[in-house]
Each structure stands twice: as structure tokens, then as C-alpha cells.
Amino acid sequence: MTQTLTLRRPDDWHLHLRDGAMLQAVLPETARHFARAIIMPNLVPPVVTGDQAAAYRDRIMAALPDGMTFEPLMTLYLTEDTDPDDVAQAAASGLVKAVKLYPAGATTNSASGVRDFDKVRPVLERMADIGLPLCVHGEVTDADIDIFDREAVFIDRVLDPVRRATPGLRVVMEHITTANGVDYVKSNDTDLGATITTHHLIINRNHILVGGIKPHYYCLPVAKREEHRLALRAAATSGDDRFFLGTDSAPHTDALKEHPCGCAGCFTATNTMALLAHVFEEENALDKLEGFASRNGPGFYKLPVNIDTITLTKSETATKFPAKIDMGEGTVTVFDPGFPVYWNVTA
């Protein structure tokens, strides 16, 4: 018996595409299913100015295989030297859809991030004026804060004060991993949304550490306790339009993942939609998947919902996803949920 589900074509509101050979290898994995994605600017060096974002967009479009369509929604990496006029210009031209805040040192390629929030106040105020969203990597980086507490502490010490000091600033809490993140979003009426990744709906911290260390499950923010995974599942499948999909699909070569100091990031672009259908079905919420993956994100970003559709089909045999994507010099491992999945995107 087969079951099908047709949705408006989804978008990915948090995606790492990298550059060069890696970009070439991973872009089709996203463009196959997704119409648009918010493109993370944490290249080396980061995408800081409007000119750099335009050049990066051109490289992305040049890497798109013939016959595929895809619209990259560009972001600027916020630094203490970011020029508010440059941000406003890049937004007004339609090129840039958000600015990304990385606390300095929080994650991969975040050394140029913000240390002193007073220094970025003029940029944040301009963004509030023009309605340009701030995408936030919500973790403090203080050495004395336990890595599993860094999101909760960030909300209290940084996010809430910044939002109070900048009325009207529209904020996306990206890749929330805790019940604290869910609760903070729910306690605010406007101007605040959150993305949730596919993998954080599937793994908790035991998956990373029990029975041997699993480098392909290591990402930042790191997966938390089971109670937090359940809170994320409840939020994603609730129909609350403040929660939407941002895969944070973050490719690193296997050599750098399977390493004494392995990189953070799960690569989920290839199988995200099938995995989400599995998760939403488990939660008896298949009717909420279109909201989460295709409607709530455009709603927050004030963009139209995609016109065309994708169809997912559930069959009796488990779907075979590629284990790895070859990128010439090395491979990238596709996220393995650890259970058979019967859904696949079929049209």
C-alpha cells in the first residue's frame, strides 16, 4: 500500500553551501527539493559586505546544474565593523534577506563574529527600521559555561537584552535545540521566530556518545537531552507558525569529521524531506508538515509561498539514500537517522 503527500515546494531557512568543489557537490542535493534557501555567510573569509554577497550569489548560480532552479537568499555576516548603510543598501536591492549574528568563536568559521554587542547597535537599529531579520546563532562562548547550557544562557544574557534594547528588531533564533528556546519563542508575540533542524528532531545527545563516539552526529549547537528533543518535536509539529525548517545542513569532508578534532555539522540536505515525513507521521501530524517546511518560513520572511509542489510517497520497502556524496577530493557523509525510512520525494 502506498501513501502520498503533496506539499507546496519547501524552502530551507538555514543552509551551508560552502564554495568551490564542495558547493558544486552539495548544491544539487538542496536544489532537487527546495526552491529557496537562506545561505549562511560563514565562508573563509566570511561574506560581510553587499558586494561579497552578490559575488557569492553569482558563484552559487554558476554552480547550479542545467535544468535545476534555485533561489539563494543571501545573508551578511555581522562583524563589529559592519556598515549600516551597506546592509540597508543590500537589503533594499533585494539581494540580502537577513544578517547573521555569530557570537565570536561559537562555531565553524565564527572568529570574525561579535564580541561587544554595543559595537553592532547602529546596525541592529537600522535593521529594526527597515524590517531586516537578524538570524542568531544562540550560544554563549564563555569557557566557564557548559556546552549543553550555552543556548539557555544565551537567551538570558544576550538575546533577551538585545531584543529589549532594539524594539522592532525581527529575530530568527536559529537551530534551537532546547525546551528553553521553544518557550522563549512562545512567550513572545511578534518579531520572533525559530528554525528547527531535521537532525535535532531525530537525535539526542546519547546518539552522539553512547556505544562509541559518532562524529557524524556532532553539530553545533550540540544535540541535548531527550526532553529537549521532545520539546522540539512538539513545537515543529504543533502548527505554530513561529517555528519553521532550517536544516543547518553543514557539509564537511569525512576526513575532517572523522578526526581527533572533528568539525561540527550534519549533512541532511539529501534526505531531509523524507526524514521529516517520517517524523511528522510518528507525531500524527503529517498535515502540519507543509506549514513547517513550506509556509511558515515565507510567512516570517514576508515572501510568497512557492507555487509548485513536491510529492512524497511512502512505500513498503525502505528508501535507499546515498551514504555519501562524492566531492572529488573527499566525500561527505549523508545523515543516517539510524532507522529505516519508507518515505521519499517522488515528484
Interface residue list for ligand NCD (CB under 6 A): 16, 42, 107-108, 137, 219-220, 248, 250, 264-265
58 among known catalytic residues: no
- DSSP assignment of 4-50 equals EEEEEPP-EEEE---SHHHHHHHHHHHHTT-SEEEEP---SS---SH
204 binds, among Zn ion, ligand NCD, none (CB under 5 to 8 A by kind): none
Q: Among residues 16 and 288, whose Cβ is nearest to ligand NCD? A: 16
178 binds, among Zn ion, ligand NCD, none (CB under 5 to 8 A by kind): none
| CB within 8 Å of 159: residues ≥ 6 apart | 136, 138, 171, 173, 184
Output the smallest distance, CB 334 to ligand NCD, in A: 15
Residue nearest to Zn ion (CB): 248
| CB within 8 Å of 157: residues ≥ 6 apart | 140
The DSSP bridge pattern shows strands 309-314 and 171-173 to be unpaired
Q: Which range in 57-65, 199-207, 223-231, 246-254 contacts Zn ion by CB under 5 A? A: 246-254
42 binds, among ligand NCD, Zn ion, none (CB under 5 to 8 A by kind): ligand NCD
Q: Among residues 253 and 344, whose Cβ is nearest to Zn ion? A: 253
Output the smallest distance, CB 220 to ligand NCD, in A: 4
Q: Among residues 230 and 264, whose Cβ is nearest to ligand NCD? A: 264
107 binds, among Zn ion, ligand NCD, none (CB under 5 to 8 A by kind): ligand NCD
Q: Which range in 81-89, 184-192, 224-232, 243-251 contacts Zn ion by CB under 5 A? A: 243-251
If you ran DSSP here, which 8-state letter would residue 138 be given? -
Output the smallest distance, CB 265 to Zn ion, in A: 7
| CB within 8 Å of 232: residues ≥ 6 apart | 176, 177, 182, 196, 200, 201
224 binds, among Zn ion, ligand NCD, none (CB under 5 to 8 A by kind): none
Q: Among residues 33 and 100, whose Cβ is nearest to ligand NCD? A: 100
Q: Which of 11, 86, 191, 248 is catalytic?
A: 248
Beta-bridge partner residues of 343: 314
Is residue 139 a contact point for Zn ion (CB under 5 A)?
no
Q: Total residues contacting Zn ion (rule CB under 5 A)?
A: 1
CA 206 to chain centre: 22
Q: Which three cell numbers mark 211?
A: 556505544
Q: Find the binding residues for Zn ion in span 248-267 (CB under 5 A).
A: 248
Angle at 67 between CA 63 and CA 69, to 5 degrees: 70
| CB within 8 Å of 322: residues ≥ 6 apart | 270, 334
- Report yes or no: 13 and 172 within 8 Å, Cβ to Cβ: yes
Q: Which range in 60-68, 189-197, 226-234, 244-252 contacts Zn ion by CB under 5 A? A: 244-252
Output the smallest distance, CB 18 to ligand NCD, in A: 8
**Ordered alpha helix ranges (H), the chain:** 20-31, 50-63, 84-92, 121-130, 150-154, 160-165, 179-186, 205-209, 226-236, 254-257, 272-282, 289-290, 296-301
Burial 301-339 (b: 16+ CB within 10 A, else e): beeeebeeebebbbeeeebeeeeebebeebbbbbbebee
Q: Between the CA of residue 27 and those of 69, 161, 337, what are the distances in Å?
A: 11, 37, 21
Output the smallest distance, CB 107 to ligand NCD, in A: 3
Q: Among residues 10 and 221, whose Cβ is nearest to ligand NCD? A: 221
Q: Among residues 78 and 310, whose Cβ is nearest to Zn ion? A: 78
Q: Which three cell numbers mark 313?
A: 510517497
Q: Among residues 7 and 158, whose Cβ is nearest to ligand NCD? A: 158
If you ran DSSP here, which 8-state letter would residue 152 be given? H
Output the smallest distance, CB 40 to ligand NCD, in A: 6
Output the smallest distance, CB 318 to Zn ion, in A: 29
**Residues classed as catalytic:** 248
Residues of this chain that bind Zn ion (CB under 5 A): 248
